[in-house]
Structure 1
Amino acid sequence: MKHNYTITGMSCNGCRTKVEKNLNALEGVEAVVTLDPPIATITMQKPIQTTHFQEALSAAGNYSIKVFNPNDVLLPTEKVVVTPPKNAAGKYYCPMFCEGDKVYDKAGDCPVCGMDLVKAPDLIATKTLFTCPMHPEIIEEAPGSCSICGMDLVPMEPSESEEDQSYLALVSKMKIAVLFTVPIFIIAMSDMIPNNPLLKIMDTSSWNWMQFALSLPVVFYATWMFFVRAWKSIISWNLNMFTLIGIGAGVAFLFSLFGLFFPELFPYEFKTHTGAVHLYFEATTVILTLVLLGQLLEARAHSRTSGAIKELLKLAPTEATLVSDGVDKVISVHDIKQDDLLRVKPGEKIPVDGKITDGETTIDESMISGEPIPVDKKIDDSVIAGTINGNKSFVMIAEKVGSDTLLSQIVQMVNSASRSRAPIQKLADRIAKYFVPIVVITSIITFFVWANFGPEPAMVYGFINAIAVLIIACPCALGLATPMSVMVGVGKGAQSGVLIKNAEALENMDKVNVLITDKTGTITEGKPSVEKVYSSQNNEDALLQKIASLNQYSEHPLAEAVVHFARAKETALSEVKDFEAITGKGVVGTVDNTKVALGNKSLMEQVGAVIDAEIDSKVVTEQKLGKTVSYISVDNTVLGYVTITDAIKPTSVAAIADLMSQGVEVIMLTGDNENTARAVAQELNLTSFIAGCLPEDKLKEIKKLQDQGKIVAMAGDGINDAPALAQADIGIAMGTGTDVAIESAKITLVKGDLQGIVKAKKLSHAVMKNINQNLFFAFFYNVLGIPIAAGVLYPFFGLLLSPMIAALAMSFSSVSVIANALRLRNLKL
């Protein structure tokens, strides 16, 4: 009998393997477990209670199991996406993400693949203070000289990051390795020189002992970590690149060691004409040194890939000027509290998110939005942390501080997304699982084929080629192919105002063929203004007073426009009772003992208000001009309407045309009426639009398209868009929209216009192309390299691949993958 069960608690392929292993350990059970979706398909010889399965899983970790229910299918927003916890900052993780979101408190090696753990950037900008090495009481905020002794001031904290320190440690080991490897290489290669001059100094046996002595610092200090990692990988059976390196270099070293101490144990094939065993100390040390060089270059590249986060952190100022009781006081940004008044002087960076309360200026927001033109700001305009003030001073009120600022959220999102796994990574994971055992078997077969069928000295040929196979087949390039491109791509997007929540979104954006877009605040500016209030009884002021009073309790952009219009006319607002906002229709309430309703025709029908034919005709005329019109009813009688205009963003037309030229179908879904929607669609050259959409209508339309096999992206900015953003394959929020919309989306456009979608599409395509290039190179490299290392060219061309050349090629493959990923930094969006 076969049953399906839902598993919870799995976050990575390691979890999946552990769960599957523990279930299969039960008698009479055969289980197959998948990670996405998290389901176990269990075949059992006799009925077994779920509690028995749970006991087996509890012994493995914090996992739970229950009978699968079709209604438990995960919603799009609940799909398992391996992303790091928010507290990952400052901790260590594997650059290949072998254990998903798992992080470590200390530096070390990944227990699965053996790679050096990389430190996640600290997401808090800190200020560096400088002091005198002779007079520690001298503390300055900038480098300079000591006021007492004149010595150069030094940072109070180490100036190098831990990434730099790790890199410098590898540089130190590299120097030791090169210092001792080069003499070994010269001694070994001297045999190729006629009348070897070194033999005039010492005999071959003595030089062999010299090679042994010189190899000890290389093997047991500079590169010993490779053997430690190889041993860990074998005892845990997490075979990886260091398994191959450790076995290959280790066998060569042990062979040489035994050949040096016990030459009589070896057959004649392994001996030179002098009777000494031919040793491979030079192959061992050169191989290990070249692998160390690869690690050194990778460490440098990892530092560069996190450059986007470092640059973002540099945007944040470390100090601010607090205005308290009319007095200015310089404080740390970490001491700023909500509602504090802050003075921003010309040329300073804005410390937190807030609004201007006094003064006006121009602000350079290019580091956040990617747009180079400074933006004019006046009282009540919003300002963003990290942006740069122009040449005027102003006072602002702090609204979002600490981790709530947009800059902090951007840094956190970039950090999380750069460490998440793209679905395409699963292909590399599946291959790597079987790759190392296949390589080891291939190496063994290579030795036996050469030993039995190769030319003399056959066993020597077999030994050398077997080692070359192990060395060249390192799967490091395969593991780095995806995460390196994702890390660089996400950082590039952030610098251009495109914030990507995870690698899955980055991958799927390239597949999008339908874009659903809202109108207000997405296609249009989202800053509606009242053009006029019409009254059939010629009492416009009275109607304005009622609808403005009603709208003072609503946060809808149209409501804010009405209230702003009334206040500009100095209209006094009344108290409202029984206020209710009816989603997708309008608002109702009681003003001065009269029932007032403001909204569309559906709302008028709901409250039972009859629309006069003359008013209806005027409304239709306004709507055909692309304007939004709301009916006004008082005591269930429609007395007039209010006309609101919302300009289309200048970038919307070009962005939509660009997307349509790429084969993306653009559909506008709006809660506005048919006539207004048609006028906007005609201006944008849209062929598809649906008017009068409620939030549930947008949701249904997306589901309908998805059922047709479409990959749907949804762009919106309001609370009413949140369900649709969550349902879409890719939810795209305008950074100018609500927090709920941004939280529901997978991509956020800081500037909040459709041109950002064009950038996101271009970035996604470039990253996926880069990943495919990396994967092709890694696969092609191994497919080509392993047979050459095994010696398939020897019968035809007499060519063999030295283990040293194999080590150089292996290191080159990893570095080339990283170098290719770094090309994304030059992408023009």
Structure 2
Amino acid sequence: MKSATFEVKGLFEELDHLGVEKRVGALPGVHHAHANPASASVTVHYDAGAITESMLRDAVRDCGYHCRGEMQPDHLCPVAQPDPHAAHAKHAAQPGAMDEMAHDMGHGAGMDMAGMVRDMRNRFIVCLAFTIPLFLWMPMGLPLPTPPVPFGLRMDQWLFILASGAVVWPSWPFFVAAWRALRNGILNMAVLVVLSVGTGYAFSVASTFFFGGTVQFYEAVSVLLVFILLGHWLEMRARAGANDAIRALLDLAPPMARVLRDGQEVQIPTAEVRAGEVVIVRPGDRIPVDGVVTEGETQVDESMLTGESMPVKKAPGSLVAGATINKSGAFRFNATKVGADTALAQIVKLVQEAQNSKAPAQLLADRASQWLVLVAIAIGVATFVAWYWVIGQTLLLAVTLTITVFVIACPDALGLATPMAIMIGTGRGANNGILIKNASALENATRLDVVIFDKTGTLTLGKPEVIEVIAAPGHGEDEVVALAAGMEQHSEHPLAHAILEKAKQGQLTAMPAEAFTNIDGMGARATSAGVRALIGNRRLMDSEGVNLAGLEGEAERLAGGGRTVVHVARGGRLWGLIAIADAPRPTSAAAVKALRERGVEVAMLTGDNRATAERIGGELGVTTILAEVLPGQKAEQVKALQAQGKKVGMVGDGINDAPALTQADVGFAIGAGTDVAMESADVVLMRSDPFGVVAAVGLSRSTLRKMHQNLWWAVGYNVVAFPFAAGVFYPVTISPEMAALAMSGSSLIVAANALLLKRARIDGLR
């Protein structure tokens, strides 16, 4: 399954995205599509063997929208992996291109959002300019003398001219959006705006030219549109603020890079850097792409990537990431990942997909919005029938109340309630090194009953050290370490690294070993000088019938102190014991305490013996210890807790954690871990800091709280507004203008409440 994120120009209304989802999601080979009106983009999950990106782009265009993004060399619409550097290259090449496209009716996201806001502001100003004289001339306007009517035209004809200027061009986006929505089988706010503004305007035109101008709504329609445009302008400004995270990430990519070509240092656009090229970085520069240092030493600020404020030392062989900042010395590196393959581009991709994903609450809100429009149309028609034909009131009152119903019910607030909160929540997380991959994970993280931490590399530093070496009679400590180092020199296990480091510190030569065979969960077997050699735990020694040479008591003593005891044997006899310990991370105890204070149980999972596990658990305050768990059993431990009806989070960093991360309700991958673990997880913590789990849970809870607040407000507003709009409490009624103000205010409150999430105090976030 492949995913692609497209920028869609023209998502004018909050429910426009449903048409894109419906049309694109129906294509053969598409698993599902999620569009976001706040970011004006759509993420499509599809089978690359059944459908191409070009076909997906065409499907978006068939909906009536433009598909655009960071243009690739072949000028295709952007695809699954956005290239942040391309934006700089294109902007440098075409300074006016962005503004030109922004003023196209469709409008876009990201770079086009400012143009979208300006365009709506201009429409509001034009509408207001024509509405003011219209308001002054209308008999129901201010008590000012009526000016003389010029050019021999009747007053109502002049009112028609002014109203046309106030309505036709300013409201045109709503007519386009309504047509697109109906064409795609969707009902949105634009449909209700067209019904209200269009009904009042058409009725007034007919009255002016065919019925003597006895009843007119020019003033009401124009003032109504002024408030609608004002609300929409302010709402778009708020929506633009919700996308700050993506823009901030894209702005991190430097526009130019220095590379070595034909022996000469040249400066080129970052988008033109090729994999394998030598890149030159000077102090203070942003690193343009990902690569491996070949010359020089320096300190690099990686806070944009990990959230860690302390610079990281880089030397030949070290990995560097694009958009990080070189703080001290000059150096050179070989570019390994460029364009859409860089770490920054992958982060942008994850954030975009998370913002476009939908929580269950949003799916419900989308369906409710559709029904709300249908209900509004039905109530509006019923209101006209009841007041005009049943009750026998005037046509003016009946039409006024009908228009009011159409306006008051616009579902903007309901459509904005969750996507705004999700965008800001995931964006704030990304700026703090917490990548939440989808909205479901955001919602599920608030319901966790227990979080399981894998011990090694997660709660601990993952860099165990040799604490003590005990040699069996007839052997020396150096001899034991040399034999162990010979067997472990090709192993990637953290315990092996500790043994090899001990041998290096003692300047010992590893004994040659061959035919190395790993024994899952117990240790390893090898051949040393033609003799069988073993290294591992007590279970391995027992299964291989090794004589422990009277060191059973020493092994129990070391294990009782919480050390990991490595048994080293050769020729069927124990040569010695190596005690290894792994220190907890500085923030582990605080993370455990914070989670427990929030009502989340904490468990620690490890393959170590129970004594070692309980020592670490005691230091950290973990009471639930899952010890002596083989790698293949980790997912089973998660299932066992889920079988008890608990929502389980799993935190890990290794390849063998991937099944458990996938099985968990929410999988958290420590960023310093493997690509497999990060791919399997729902949340990626870019810093190797367990307190990031606390921050992620806190962020999720704050985001969900905003979503619920917004949904309750949107629903409550409509429940209260409908009876007043329909005249149930007559003679107390609401005018169309006040209805427009209330509707716009409701949407603005929802957007502003979501924006407050940027300032919310959350432990672990800045």
Range class of TM-score, shorter chain:
0.7 to 0.9
CA distance, structure 1, for counterparts of residue 327 and residue 229 of structure 2: 49
AA aligned to 2:576 is G
CA contact (8 A) 2:33 2:43 kept: no
* C-alpha contact 1:95 1:118 (8 A) present in aligned 2: no
Choose from 726, 749, 752 the match for 1:819: 752
Corresponding residue for residue 239 of structure 1: 187
Closer/same/farther in 2, CA of residues 352 and 201 from structure 1, 3 Å limit: closer
Gaps of 5+ in 1: 1-11, 20-34, 36-59, 65-79, 85-91, 132-138, 142-153, 265-275
Q: What's the CA shift for 1:320?
A: 4.1
**Aligned residue among 803, 816, 819 for 2:736:** 803
Q: Aligned residue for 2:356?
A: 419
Answer whether contact 1:93 1:117 (CA < 8 A) is retained: no
**Structure 2 residue identity aligned to 1:550:** M
Of stretches 382-391 and 781-790 in structure 1, the one that deviates more from structure 2 is: 382-391
Contact 2:294 2:333 in 1 (8 A): yes
Name the residue aligned to 2:470: 534
1:682-697 maps to which residues of 2 (within 5 A)? 682-697=618-633
Q: Secondary structure at the match of 2:467?
A: strand
- For residue 176 of structure 2, what is the aligned residue in structure 1? 228
Identity %: 37
Match of 1:658 among 577, 580, 594: 594
State yes or no: 1:215 paired with 2:163.
yes
1:776 aligns with 2:724: no
Residue identity in the other structure for 2:374: P
Residue aligned with 1:648, SS: coil
Displacement, 1:601? Answer: 2.2
Match of 2:563 among 612, 627, 646: 627
**8 Å Cα contact 1:14/1:99 also seen in 2:** no
The offset of 1:209, in angstroms, is 0.6
Letter aligned with residue 132 of structure 2: V
Alignment deviations for residues 756-793 of structure 1 (CA, whole Å, 9 cap, x no partner): 01100110010000001110111011111111111233
Corresponding residue for 1:476?
412
The amino acid that maps onto 1:449 is A
Q: Which of 125, 130, 155 matches 2:85?
A: 125
* Counterpart pick for 2:129 among 165, 179, 182: 179
Whole-angstrom CA distance in 1 between matches of 2:66 and 2:215:
35
Listed as ranges, the gaps of 5+ residues in structure 2 are: 1-16, 47-52, 71-77, 103-110
SS in 1 for 2:668: strand
Q: Is the alpha carbon distance of 1:624 and 1:396 closer, same or farther for their aligned partners in structure 2, counting shifts above 3 Å?
A: farther
Question: Distance between the aligned counterparts of 1:13 and 1:637, measured in 2?
Answer: 71
Q: Determine the C-alpha separation between the residues in 2 that align with 1:570 and 1:359.
A: 28
Q: Is the 8 A contact 1:82 1:421 kept in 2?
A: no
> Counterpart of 2:359 in 1: which secondary structure?
coil
CA 1:158–1:474: 2 relative to 1, 3 Å: closer
Equivalent position of 1:72 in the other structure: none
2:689 matched residue in structure 1: 753
**Match for 1:310: what amino acid?**
R
What TM-score results when the alignment is normalised by the length of structure 2?
A: 0.85
Counterpart contact for 2:658–2:680, Cα < 8 Å: yes
Shift of 1:803: 0.6
What is the deviation of 1:253? 1.2
Contact 2:42–2:356, Cα closer than 8 Å, also in 1: no
Conserved in 2, the CA contact under 8 Å of 1:349 and 1:386? yes
- Deviation (angstroms), 1:488: 0.8
- Once the two structures are TM-superposed, the CA of residue 577 in structure 1 deviates from its matched residue by 3.3
Could you tell me how far apart the structure 1 residues matched to 2:59 and 2:209 are?
38
**Aligned pairs for 1:188-199 within 5 A:** 188=138, 190-193=139-142, 197-198=145-146
Give me the whole-angstrom Cα distance separating, in 2, the residues matched to 1:117 and 1:779: 33
Aligned match of 1:549 in 486, 499, 511?
486
The answer for the alignment partner of 1:170 in structure 2 is: 120
- Call closer, same or farther: CA 1:329–1:583 in 2, change over 3 Å: farther
Cα distance, 1:101 vs structure 2:
6.2
SS for the counterpart of 1:412 is helix
Does structure 1 conserve the Cα–Cα contact (< 8 Å) formed by 2:98 and 2:112?
no
SS in 1 for 2:456: coil
Per-residue CA distance 1:315-347 (angstroms, 9 max, x = gap): 223444446899755555445566655443222
* Aligned match of 1:22: none
C-alpha separation between the residues in 2 aligned to 1:126 and 1:251? Answer: 46
CA contact (8 A) 1:625 1:676 kept: yes
Cα distance, 1:363 vs. partner? 3.0
How far the C-alpha of 1:16 sits from its partner, in A, is 11
Equivalent residue of 1:642, what SS? strand
What is aligned with 1:300?
237
3-state SS of paired residue (1:212): helix
Aligned residues: CA RMSD: 3.6
For 2:286 and 2:563, how far apart are their aligned partners in 1? 39
What's 2:533 paired with? Answer: 596
Could you say what secondary structure the match of 2:447 adopts? coil
Cα distance in 2 for residues equivalent to 1:329 and 1:115: 41
1:442 to 379, 384, 388: 379
The separation in 2 between residues aligned to 1:533 and 1:398, in whole angstroms, is 44
Give 2:211's match in structure 1, choosing from 263, 267, 280.
263
1:583 corresponds to which residue?
A: 520
Q: Give deviations 1:420-445, integer Å, cap 9, x for gaps.
A: 11111122123223222211111122
Matched, 1:766 2:702: yes
Q: 1:465-544 to 2 correspondence within 5 Å?
A: 465-536=401-472, 537-544=474-481
Q: Report whether the alignment pairs 1:429 with 2:366.
A: yes
Structure 2 distance, partners of 1:697, 1:217, is: 72
What's the CA shift string for 1:494-547, capped at 9, x where partnerless? 111111111111111011110001111000111223334432133333333332
Larger CA deviation: 348-357 vs 330-339: 330-339
* Shift in Å, 1:183: 2.1
Q: 2:247 aligns with which of 307, 310, 315?
A: 310
1:719 is displaced (CA, Å) by 0.8
After TM superposition, give the deviation of residue 452 of structure 1 in Å: 4.8
Aligned pair count? 717
Distance 1:750 1:431 in 2: 37
Shift of 1:372: 3.0
Q: CA deviation at 1:653?
A: 0.5
- Name the CA distance, whole Å, in 2 between partners of 1:186 and 1:601: 95
Post-superposition offset of 1:197: 1.5
Q: C-alpha distance in 2, partners of 1:127/1:801?
A: 48
Question: Residue 790 in 1 paired to residue 726 in 2?
Answer: yes
Structure 2 match to 1:6: none
Contact 1:96-1:480 at 8 Å conserved across structures:
no
**2:193 maps to amino acid:** I
The question of whether the paired residues in 1 share the 8 Å contact of 2:293 and 2:333 is answered with: yes
Q: TM-score, normalised by structure 1?
A: 0.79
* Structure 1 residues 716 and 236: alpha-carbon distance in aligned structure 2, compared to 1, 3 A threshold: closer
CA distance in 2, matches of 1:218, 1:606: 89
Q: How does 1:54-73 map to 2 (within 5 A)?
A: 61-62=27-28
**Cα shift at 1:308:** 0.7
Shift of 1:279: 0.6
| Aligned 1:141-180 pairs, distance under 5 A | 155=95, 158=98, 161-180=111-130
Q: 1-side partners of 2:40 and 2:313: how far apart?
A: 45
Q: 1:517 to 1:624 in 2, by over 3 A?
A: same
2:756 maps to a residue whose letter is R
- Name the CA shift for 1:579/1:322 in 2 (closer, same or farther; >3 Å): farther
Q: Is the CA contact (8 Å cut-off) linking 2:188 and 2:373 kept in structure 1?
A: yes
**1:670 aligned to 2:620?**
no
Counterparts of 1:682 and 1:632, CA distance in 2: 28
Q: State how far apart, in whole Å, the 2-side matches of 1:239 and 1:806 are.
A: 20
CA distance in 1, matches of 2:484, 2:43: 58
Q: Which has the higher contact order (CA 8 A, sep 6+)?
A: 2
